[in-house]
Structure 1
Amino acid sequence: MRLPSVTAKTAVSGLTVLALAVLAGCSRASDEAVSPSPSPTGAASTVAPDMSGAPEGFEQYYGQAVDWSGCDNGFECATITAPLSWHDADGGAIDLALKRHPATGTRQGAVLVNPGGPGGSGVDYVTSAWQGLGERLRAAYDVVGFDPRGVGQSTPVRCFDDARKDLSLSKDFDDDDAGLAAMAAEFTAWADACGQNTGALLGNVDTQSAARDMDLIRAVLGEPKLDYLGFSYGTQLGATYAGLFPDRVGAMVLDGAIDITLDADQTSAQQAVGFEQALRNYVADCQGGADCPLTGDVDAGMRQIRGILDRALTDPYPTQTNRRVTQTLAFYGVAVTLYDQQSWPALTQALSEVVNRGTGNTLLYLADFYNDRNDDGTFENNSAEAFRAVGCLDSRGATDLAQMRAEAAAIDEAAPTVGRFFAYTGLVCSDWPYPVVAQEFDVHATGAPPIVVIGTTHDPATPYAWAQALAQTLDSGVLVTYEGEGHTAYGRSNQCVVDAVDAYFVDGTTPQDGLRC
Structure 2
Amino acid sequence: MKHLLAPLRLTLALTAGALLVACGGGNDHNGAPLPDPLASYRTQTLQWSACAEDALGESFVPMMQAVLAQYGERLRCSLMRAPLDWQYPARGDIVVAVSRLATARPEARRGALLTNPGGPGADGMLVGSLKLADGLARSAAASADGTASAQQGVLDAYDLVGFAPRGTGLGTRLECKSSAPAQAVDWSAADWDTPENLSRAAANDRLAAEACLQQPLAPHVHSEANARDMDLLRGLLGEDKLNFVGYSYGSWLGAWYAGLFPDKVGRMVLDGVVDFTSSFEQVMVLQAPARQRLFDEVLAPYAARHPAHFQLGDSAAAVRGVMPALSPRVQAVLSQQLADVVYAADDADVLLSFVAAAQGLDQVLHRTVPEQSDAVEQALEAQVFAAQNGTRDAVLRMYAKTLYQRYRATWVLPSTGNAGLSPFLSVYWATLCNDTAATTDAAAWAHTLRGIAQQAPMFFADNARNVCATWGGPHVQKPALAPLQSMDLLFVQAQYDGATPAEGADRFFAQLPQARRVSVQGSYQHGVYPYNDRCVDPLVSRYLLGQTPTARDTACATQALPQDRATAADEPSAKALALRALARLGRIH
1:350 match: 354
1:70 match: 50
Q: Structure 1 422/448 Cα, relative in aligned 2: closer, same or farther at 3 Å? A: same
CA distance in 1 between counterparts of 2:255 and 2:355 reads 39
Aligned AA (1:409)? R
Further displaced range: 268-277 or 352-361 = 352-361
Task: Assess if the C-alpha contact under 8 Å between 2:436 and 2:477 holds in 1.
Answer: no
1:234 match: 250
Pairs within 5 Å for 1:196-207: 196=214, 199-207=215-223
CA radius of gyration, larger in: 2
CA distance in 1 between counterparts of 2:485 and 2:336 reads 41
User: Deviations for 1:326-367, whole angstroms, at most 9, x for unmatched residues?
Assistant: x2x532321332212211111232222222244685378699
Greater helix percent: which structure?
Answer: 2
Further displaced range: 346-355 or 111-120 = 346-355
1:384 match: 425
Aligned AA (1:412)? A
CA distance in 1 between counterparts of 2:218 and 2:427 reads 9
Task: Assess if the C-alpha contact under 8 Å between 1:330 and 1:363 holds in 2.
Answer: no
2:313 match: 295
Aligned AA (2:505)? A
Further displaced range: 92-101 or 385-394 = 385-394
User: Deviations for 1:13-64, whole angstroms, at most 9, x for unmatched residues?
Assistant: xxxxxxxxxxxxxxxxxxxxxxxxxxxxxxxxxxxxxxx9764321221121
1:431 match: 470
Pairs within 5 Å for 1:434-513: 435-446=473-484, 449-474=487-512, 476-483=514-521, 484-492=523-531, 494-510=533-549, 512-513=551-552
User: Deviations for 1:46-96, whole angstroms, at most 9, x for unmatched residues?
Assistant: xxxxxx976432122112111111223421000010000111021111000
Q: Report the alpha carbon displacement of residue 444 of structure 1 after superposing the two structures with TM.
A: 3.0
Aligned AA (1:402)? A
Task: Assess if the C-alpha contact under 8 Å between 2:339 and 2:462 holds in 1.
Answer: no
Task: Assess if the C-alpha contact under 8 Å between 1:242 and 1:448 holds in 2.
Answer: no
CA distance in 2 between counterparts of 1:308 and 1:263 reads 34
Indicate which of 392, 411, 435 corresponds to 1:394.
435
Query: Are residue 132 (structure 1) and residue 135 (structure 2) matched?
Result: yes
Same amino acid, percent of matched pairs:
29
Aligned AA (2:445)? M
Further displaced range: 472-481 or 227-236 = 472-481
CA distance in 1 between counterparts of 2:112 and 2:404 reads 35
Pairs within 5 Å for 1:279-290: 279-280=295-296, 281-289=298-306, 290=308
CA distance in 2 between counterparts of 1:471 and 1:441 reads 17
Task: Assess if the C-alpha contact under 8 Å between 1:239 and 1:445 holds in 2.
Answer: no
Aligned AA (1:132)? G
2:375 match: none
2:399 match: 362
Query: Are residue 181 (structure 1) and residue 199 (structure 2) matched?
Result: yes
2:82 match: 82
SS of 2:468's partner is coil
Greater strand percent: which structure?
Answer: 1
Aligned AA (1:85)? D
SS of 1:407's partner is helix
TM normalised by structure 2 equals: 0.68
Indicate which of 267, 277, 280 corresponds to 2:293.
277
Q: Structure 1 486/442 Cα, relative in aligned 2: closer, same or farther at 3 Å? A: same
SS of 1:85's partner is coil
CA distance in 2 between counterparts of 1:366 and 1:135 reads 43
Indicate which of 456, 466, 471 corresponds to 1:415.
456
Task: Assess if the C-alpha contact under 8 Å between 1:333 and 1:365 holds in 2.
Answer: no
CA distance in 2 between counterparts of 1:421 and 1:351 reads 17
Task: Assess if the C-alpha contact under 8 Å between 1:99 and 1:144 holds in 2.
Answer: yes
Q: Structure 1 364/464 Cα, relative in aligned 2: closer, same or farther at 3 Å? A: farther
CA distance in 1 between counterparts of 2:437 and 2:346 reads 34
CA distance in 2 between counterparts of 1:115 and 1:59 reads 30
| CA RMSD after TM alignment | 3.0
Aligned AA (1:405)? A
Query: Are residue 339 (structure 1) and residue 343 (structure 2) matched?
Result: yes
Further displaced range: 501-510 or 358-367 = 358-367
Aligned AA (1:495)? R
**Which ranges of structure 1 fall in alignment gaps of 5 or more residues?**
1-51, 314-326, 369-376
CA distance in 2 between counterparts of 1:255 and 1:404 reads 30
Query: Are residue 190 (structure 1) and residue 208 (structure 2) matched?
Result: yes
CA distance in 1 between counterparts of 2:430 and 2:476 reads 15
Q: Report the alpha carbon displacement of residue 382 of structure 1 after superposing the two structures with TM.
A: 2.5
Q: Structure 1 81/309 Cα, relative in aligned 2: closer, same or farther at 3 Å? A: farther
Query: Are residue 117 (structure 1) and residue 119 (structure 2) matched?
Result: yes
CA distance in 2 between counterparts of 1:436 and 1:453 reads 27
Aligned AA (1:311)? R
SS of 1:122's partner is coil
Task: Assess if the C-alpha contact under 8 Å between 2:183 and 2:204 holds in 1.
Answer: no
Aligned AA (1:394)? D
Q: Report the alpha carbon displacement of residue 309 of structure 1 after superposing the two structures with TM.
A: 7.0
